[in-house]
Structure 1
Amino acid sequence: MLKLGFAGIGMIAKKYIGLICQGQVPGVEVTALCSRSLENIQEAVRSCGLTNAAVFTDYSELLRSGAADAVVVCTPNGQHPPMTQAALEAGLHVLTEKPAGIWMDEVDRAVAALEQRPELVGGVMYNRRMSQAYRKVKSLIQEGFLGELVRATWLITTLYRPNAYYASGAWRGSWQGEGGGLLMTQVSHQLDLLQWLCGMPVSVLARCGTVNRPIEVENEAELLLTFANGAHGQFIASGHEQPGTDRLEICGTKGRIVVTDGREVEICRLAQEERAFTISCTQPFGEIPSTVERLSFDDGTNEIQQAAALANFAEAVAGRSPIMCSLQEGVRSLQMIQAAYLSHWNRSEMAIPADPKAFPAALEERGFGRSRSI
């Protein structure tokens, strides 16, 4: 049984704790709770019956206590890397909420701490990787189904956030608290999936905007991506549209995969690879015959994937399974996000990864510094 501690007892931590207490995460027991808010801890204890859990208002005391074998970090974004690093240096496994952090030098130090302790597991909570639909897509791509990547397009506008969301925490919707907006928070899941499936893009041209919300950060973004082989990508996201659309298209020289709402997968297989067909075809408007297969999956909800991700973490700690998203892999989406912000601010295409000093310098120019306290 994995003894699990939680650092930060806000909305997301309470959701994870609830899943564990409902028996949806086998092999895991919540044994420690840490928050500066005793009220939040007491509410979690009452709602889940965690009367035997150790309670801390000081994170370093939790790490020294022996009350947990591993911690889940659910604090504001800027605190993820130092808290991850501290847990690893204390000899605890750690799963941090996404994103991996805000400041790349701090994230790099957390990664270095993990690499110095290969017996420990360190991961980022990109639970969408546990989706059966996206795992099917990943398998198809690894098997060579698509051939060479031609285009990847994601329209993701199902992440609606009203004013009440931003009012739920003083740090939400601010550069100081979150280090970004829609890209850094909600759609970092989809950006992680995009590079997991298609590989890292090498450059981005981005436009971000803030529409009808009392916030400092963006709630819409459009990214034009270029991949290493010259393929192009389009990533269009919004947190203010109703109703929303969630559609991913990945096109290759051998076929196309479409994922709708994270559940429905359409697999279009070409009878001949396009680059061979275009040479042999004698008809000016010739088209390649194709077959279509449609699959439907029933694990598209956040809760199912979050429970699966927590279970995967426990399995990884036990040595029975690789971690779904290692700390090292979790850095990739952050590199994409920061390059996108720099592109928007500079009104120019940016390489991915960008100069690691450029993003913090740009934030500091705008009057936003680091919040160091953990």
Structure 2
Amino acid sequence: MVRTGIAGIGAIAENYIKLVASGKVQGMELTAFSSRNVVHAQEVAEKYGFHNLSIYGDYEEMLASGKVDAVIICTPHYQHPAMGKLAVRHGIHMLVEKPIGVFSEEVKEMIELAEEKPELKSGVLYNRRACCTFHKVKELVEGNAVGSIKRANWLITNLHRTEAYHKSSPWRGTYKGEGGGILMTQASHQLDLFLWICSMPARVRGFCYNGMERDIQVENDVTIQMEFENGATGQFIASSREFPGTNRFEISGDLGQIIVENDNHIIYNKLETSESEYSRTTSDYFGKIPYERFDFYFNDDENTVQHAAILNNFVDAIEKDEEVICPLKEAMNSLVIINGAYLSGWKQKTLDIPFDYSLFTQELKKKF
């Protein structure tokens, strides 16, 4: 059994506690909680039947207690890198709630420290990676199903949030509280998948629109334009002020096209001949290339199913040396693009990737 502590006992942590209590995570034993509100932490422990669990008001005291082999970090975004580094220094495996942090330069330091102790397993809770739909998309892309990618677009505008949501906690909708808006919170899942499947771009330009029809400081409507080394282009559009909204991911390549609708339906259009070859050899001005259509349907897009899969994978990584579904380095990719989109928008210019991460830190802190 992997003796596990949880840091930060809020709503997110309670989701994971519930999964362990219901037996959906094999090989994980919850042995400790750390929280600034120890009374609340004790109430949560009792609620789910963890009567002998140790409660700590100090995170590092929990790490040093000898009662945990691993920790799940569910604290506010800004705290993730520092708490991750403490876990490494105490020889504790760690699983970090998304996003991995706010400042890329801090996350980079955490990753470099973690790499000094490769025996420790570490990952990030980007649960959408456990969705069979996107495993299939990644399998298709890596299997050359679409050939060289020409363009990738994700339109994710079904993330509706109301004024009541933003007013539910004083830290919501602020740079000081969350480090950003829809990119840093709701849409970071889709951005992580986009980069996991299509790889990192070479350049990025962000257009972020803050407080659109909502009384918030941060962006709730955003477009990111990306350029890749091979000449491909990408676009990521997210909004939390539309209803019913759209969730559609398209990847177009020389050999075909993949369309993902609503996270559970894949349409794969396989060209009979590559587009480039057809263009060179046909005498037709507007040629319609013959293609075959394949449809794939999945039904595992529930968050609880995916959360359980991530937690079980974390246990198996520790006990069986399996690969972590979302390693720290890969989780940092989406943060780099988020930071880059913000910074390029503020500076009104395209940024090369990577860029000087300290520039983002300086600019964001001006907004506190």
- Per the TM superposition, whether the score is higher than 0.5 is yes
Hey, what's the Cα distance between the residues in 2 that align with 1:105 and 1:79?
A: 14
Instruction: Give the Å deviation of 1:23.
Output: 1.2
Q: Could you tell me whether the CA contact under 8 Å between 2:103 and 2:339 is conserved in 1? A: no
Hey, what's the Cα distance between the residues in 2 that align with 1:246 and 1:130?
A: 18
Hey, what's the Cα distance between the residues in 2 that align with 1:169 and 1:88?
A: 31
Q: Would you say 1:163 and 2:163 are equivalent positions?
A: yes
For 1:206, the aligned partner's letter is: G
Q: Could you tell me whether the CA contact under 8 Å between 1:338 and 1:354 is conserved in 2? A: no
Partner of 2:132: 132
Q: Would you say 1:6 and 2:3 are equivalent positions?
A: no
Hey, what's the Cα distance between the residues in 2 that align with 1:164 and 1:30?
A: 33
Partner of 1:241: 242
Q: TM-score, normalised by structure 1?
A: 0.96
Q: Could you tell me whether the CA contact under 8 Å between 1:5 and 1:68 is conserved in 2? A: yes
Instruction: Give the Å deviation of 1:43.
Output: 3.1
Q: Would you say 1:343 and 2:350 are equivalent positions?
A: no
1:33-72 correspondence runs (5 A): 33-72=33-72
- Give 3-state SS (helix, strand or coil) of 1:141's partner: helix
Hey, what's the Cα distance between the residues in 1 that align with 2:81 and 2:57?
A: 19
Hey, what's the Cα distance between the residues in 2 that align with 1:242 and 1:190?
A: 18
How large is the Cα RMSD of the aligned pairs? 1.2
For 1:199, the aligned partner's letter is: S
- Give 3-state SS (helix, strand or coil) of 1:67's partner: coil
Q: Would you say 1:75 and 2:75 are equivalent positions?
A: yes
- Give 3-state SS (helix, strand or coil) of 1:201's partner: coil
Partner of 1:313: 314
- Give 3-state SS (helix, strand or coil) of 1:219's partner: strand
1:323-342 correspondence runs (5 A): 323-342=324-343
Hey, what's the Cα distance between the residues in 1 that align with 2:345 and 2:166?
A: 23
- Give 3-state SS (helix, strand or coil) of 1:318's partner: helix
Hey, what's the Cα distance between the residues in 1 that align with 2:21 and 2:215?
A: 36
For 2:222, the aligned partner's letter is: A
Deviations along 1:96-141, one digit per CA (max 9) or x if unpaired, are: 0111111233212211221110100111111111110000111111
Question: Sequence identity of aligned pairs in percent?
Answer: 43
For 1:11, the aligned partner's letter is: A
Q: Could you tell me whether the CA contact under 8 Å between 2:42 and 2:55 is conserved in 1? A: no
Q: How many residues align?
A: 367
Deviations along 1:197-232, one digit per CA (max 9) or x if unpaired, are: 001011122211121222111111011111111111
Deviations along 1:211-263, one digit per CA (max 9) or x if unpaired, are: 12221111110111111111111111011211121110011100111111111
Hey, what's the Cα distance between the residues in 2 that align with 1:258 and 1:20?
A: 35
1:167-182 correspondence runs (5 A): 167-182=167-182
Partner of 2:364: 363
Hey, what's the Cα distance between the residues in 2 that align with 1:79 and 1:246?
A: 31
Q: Could you tell me whether the CA contact under 8 Å between 1:76 and 1:171 is conserved in 2? A: no
Unaligned runs of 5+ in 2: none
Instruction: Give the Å deviation of 1:360.
Output: 0.9
Q: TM-score, normalised by structure 2?
A: 0.97
Partner of 1:371: none
Partner of 2:353: 352
For 1:196, the aligned partner's letter is: W
Partner of 1:187: 187
Q: Could you tell me whether the CA contact under 8 Å between 2:313 and 2:322 is conserved in 1? A: yes
For 1:96, the aligned partner's letter is: V
Q: Any runs of at least 4 consecutive aligned residues in structure 1 with deviations exceeding 4 A, and if so which?
A: none
Instruction: Give the Å deviation of 1:73.
Output: 0.4
For 2:94, the aligned partner's letter is: V
1:22-37 correspondence runs (5 A): 22-37=22-37
Larger CA deviation: 33-42 vs 195-204: 33-42
Hey, what's the Cα distance between the residues in 2 that align with 1:240 and 1:314?
A: 38
Q: Could you tell me whether the CA contact under 8 Å between 2:124 and 2:331 is conserved in 1? A: yes
Unaligned runs of 5+ in 1: 369-374
Q: Would you say 1:298 and 2:306 are equivalent positions?
A: no
Partner of 1:90: 90
For 2:27, the aligned partner's letter is: G
Hey, what's the Cα distance between the residues in 2 that align with 1:217 and 1:84?
A: 26
- Give 3-state SS (helix, strand or coil) of 2:346's partner: helix
